[in-house]
Amino acid sequence: MKPIMSGIVSCVATAAVVLTCGVAGSWANEPGYGYGGHGKMGGYGKSFMHGGTGHLIRHLLKHEKDIGLTPDQVAKLKDLQLALDKARIKAEADIQITEREIKALTEDEKADLAAIEAKLKQSADQRVALRLTALKMKRDVLNLLTPEQREKEKTEHEKVLREHGKSSYGGPHGGGSYGAYPHGKKNPHEGMGGHPPVPPTEMSVQ
């Protein structure tokens, strides 16, 4: 009986590790706003590599003059950016705590499997809530824009993709010195105050 129990706990521990990996990418992999399948899977809503609410806000602020944003819109975007960062930091901290509790439970062969299952579900629910928060804020961001501004944003975004295609020697992600980073830097918005998503396991308050 004891070997069977050890095997079950081992399987649950593996599931916990998989969930932890999912947490690390949960914020970065929120559905993208890309227009041309710039991500790994291609297509609108599947563009994870270049997408995300935080990226959209930074893109709008960087190109505020080209898009024609008003001072009021810029102020509201900055408010949303702050709210998004605060929500991300808090949510990822909560997820990290839950994952640490899962680790402790799975290392205890006497731990109740029902308790482990409850913690795994809690972690999954927290990750879903994090994604939903980002998606709701993305809608708030887009609702700030006029139809004309949305078209201008799309134009600016496509311009970035074209420039990246030229600089990477023949393809969006192929062969060039920029590798997998669409803007030629590890942080796509380095130098303008942007910060990449930080996995909970490596997160420090920014």
Long-range contacts of range 36-41, CB-CB < 8 Å, 24 or more positions apart?
A: 36/158, 36/161, 38/161, 38/172, 38/182
**Distance (Å) of CA 110 to CA 8, 97, 114, 119, 125:** 11, 21, 12, 16, 25
Which phi and psi (to 5°) does residue 62 adopt?
Answer: -65, -35
Q: Is residue 156 part of a domain?
A: no
The pLDDT of residue 164: 80
Flag whether 187 is in a domain.
Answer: no
In the predicted model, what is the mean pLDDT of the chain?
Answer: 72
pTM above 0.75, yes or no: no
Within a domain: 104: yes
What pLDDT score does 203 carry?
A: 42
Span 87-129, pLDDT tens digits: 999 999 999 999 999 999 999 999 999 999 999 999 999 999 9
DSSP 8-state secondary structure symbol assigned to residue 187: S
In a domain, 34, yes or no: no
The domain tally of the chain equals: 1
- Within a domain: 89: yes
pLDDT tens for 73-86 read 999 999 999 999 99
175 is a domain residue: no
Whether 136 is in a domain gets the answer yes
pLDDT attached to residue 80? 96
Structural domain of 85: 52-146
Position 169 in a domain: no
